[in-house]
Every structure is written in structure tokens, then in C-alpha cells.
Amino acid sequence: MLSSFESYLERNNISYYPSVLHLKILTICTHSLIDVILKGREEDIKSLLPVAPIDESSLQGTPLNAAAMVGRSDLVQALLQRGADPNATIEIGKQTALYQAAERGHVGVVRILSSRTDRNILAHLNWTPLHSAAIAGHTQIVEDLLDARFDRDAQDECKRTALALSVQQGHLGVIKLLLKNGAQDLPDEEKDHALDHAVCFCSGKDNEEILKLLRGENFTKMKLTSRLAEKYNRRNGWKLGTLGGLALYRALK
């Protein structure tokens, strides 16, 4: 253990005394491993990986959090083999390694961690990894999380689902996938549904298809137009001639 750490200190020209090393080695190892993982310094990673305490945390979380953040599937596997806790969270945001990987689109890491991470751990705003993948538009990760039985209808502290968040961002592929897997169009705390978000937010090239997907068969064109126009004119002073109203009008033609 000491020889590997001493070689790291020597390469980086860090002076130390044996007594100080004896007292501080665990903390230094942990923080150094997180740092070299984030910076991609391979030789230092090799030196520190076998010796650093794997579950001691810094503001950036544990070494497993760092490896997940940069998409290093190999390091994630190695840390898990050493006994790293997949449920450890970073101090700010309360994100697990799985959440960080899902947010950043690291498919390989998500596939390793999705079956090892407690699904009940919620990040800031009560977001799940599925929320973070959906709002970012990571279709493959959304599919992997659904396959791992993450709750497709989980609601955050504002009662928004992954479907609502993906609609807000106009991620057509994610929307189709969630609907195919039975996602429900649940109301948020403002009583808005995904369809309401589509009218409010959708302005990209896929807006018409999104609106058609969400409107279903429960509304006639006139009833739907009237309902949404009244809702948004009352709340935001919007007219049907604005971007959202125009998208709705064109989708319902």
C-alpha cells in the first residue's frame, strides 16, 4: 500500500514525513484518487486505485462518483469490485453515481449501476435518474432504466414526471419511448399535463408530432383548442397567435 502511494508522491514532487504520512494517508489517497480520475491521469490512477479508501467522500463525492461522472466504466467496475458503495451521494445535489452517469449520457456506466443502485434514493428536487436522462434527451439510457424497472411515473417535488420533462425539452424519441412503455400523463402541482407543457414549450421541428402524440382521442379539435387557449391566456396572457398557440393550431389542422 505505502509503496504505491509513495511512487505517486514521488512522481508529483510531493514532500512528506513518515509520521505525517501515517496520520494523513487515507484522506490524501481518497482526495488524490478523485482528482486524478477527473483529470484522466492514468499512471496516478493505477497507483492510487488499489490503496485509496473507496467510500470516503469529498464535495465531489466518492471515487465512484468521479468515475461515473467522466464515464469510466472500467474504473466503475474496479471500484465496485473493491466494495465501493453504489448508493453514496455527492454532498450538493444528493446525486448517486448512477444519477450522474444518466445525466451525462454514459450508457456503459448506467448499465453497470442500474441494477446495483437503490431506486428509492432521490436527488435534489426529488429527481430520479430517469428524470435526469429524460430531460437531457438520452433515449438509450431512458430505455435501459425502464428495463431496470425504474418507476416510469415517478414525480418530483413539483409533481413532474419524466414524460413532462421530456415534453418541455421537445425530446421526441424519449417521449415515444415513455408512452410505448405505458407512462401516464399525470398532472403536476399546477394541474398541468404533458399536453399543456407541449403547447407551452414545444417550438422545435418535432412540435407538431409531439402534440399529435399527446392529444389522444379524448378531445375534439375545438374542445382542445378552447381548453388550452383559455388556460394559457388566463395564466400568461398568451394568444393563439403566439408560438405555442401557432404550434397547437397547426397540429390540429
Q: How far apart are CA 177 and CA 163, in angstroms?
A: 9
Candidates 38, 110, 42, 47; CA nearest to 73 is 110
Would you say residue 45 lies in a domain? Answer: no
Lowest-confidence segment of 74-88, 147-161, 209-223, 238-252 by average pLDDT: 238-252
Q: How far is residue 197 from each of residues 167, 210, 250, measured CA to CA in Å?
A: 7, 11, 16
Would you say residue 126 lies in a domain? Answer: no
Would you say residue 182 lies in a domain? Answer: yes
Locate 41 and state its grid cell: 491521469
Lowest-confidence segment of 85-99, 142-156, 168-182, 233-247 by average pLDDT: 233-247
Residue 222 has pLDDT above 80, yes or no: no
Lowest-confidence segment of 12-26, 37-51, 68-82, 175-189 by average pLDDT: 12-26
Q: How far apart are CA 175 and CA 104, in angstroms?
A: 19
Would you say residue 202 lies in a domain? Answer: yes
Residue 247 has pLDDT above 80, yes or no: no
Q: Say what the pLDDT of residue 153 is.
A: 98
Q: Are the C-beta atoms of residues 4 and 29 closer than 8 Å to each other?
A: no
Locate 3 and state its grid cell: 509503496
Locate 150 and state its grid cell: 425504474
How many domains are there within the chain? 1
Would you say residue 112 lies in a domain? Answer: no
Q: Average pLDDT of 69-77?
A: 98
Give the domain extent around 188.
147-253
Neighbour count for residue 20 (Cβ, 10 Å): 11
Would you say residue 215 lies in a domain? Answer: yes
Q: How far apart are CA 7 and CA 2, in angstroms?
A: 9
Q: Which residue has the higher pLDDT, 185 or 251?
A: 185
- Interhelix angle 162-169/172-180, nearest 10 degrees: 150
Would you say residue 121 lies in a domain? Answer: no
Alpha helices in the chain (DSSP H): 2-11, 18-39, 42-48, 63-69, 73-81, 97-104, 107-113, 129-136, 139-147, 162-169, 172-180, 194-201, 207-215, 221-236, 243-252
CATH of the domain at 232: 1.25.40.20
Q: Average pLDDT of 2-16?
A: 62
Q: Are the C-beta atoms of residues 68 and 76 closer than 8 Å to each other?
A: yes
Q: Which residue has the higher pLDDT, 65 or 251?
A: 65
Locate 225 and state its grid cell: 383548442
Q: Which residues pair with 58 in a beta bridge?
A: 61
Q: How far apart are CA 124 and CA 95, in angstroms?
A: 7
Would you say residue 39 lies in a domain? Answer: no
**pLDDT tens string 193-219:** 888 777 776 656 677 788 888 876 444
Q: How far apart are CA 240 and CA 230, in angstroms?
A: 10
Q: Say what the pLDDT of residue 156 is.
A: 97
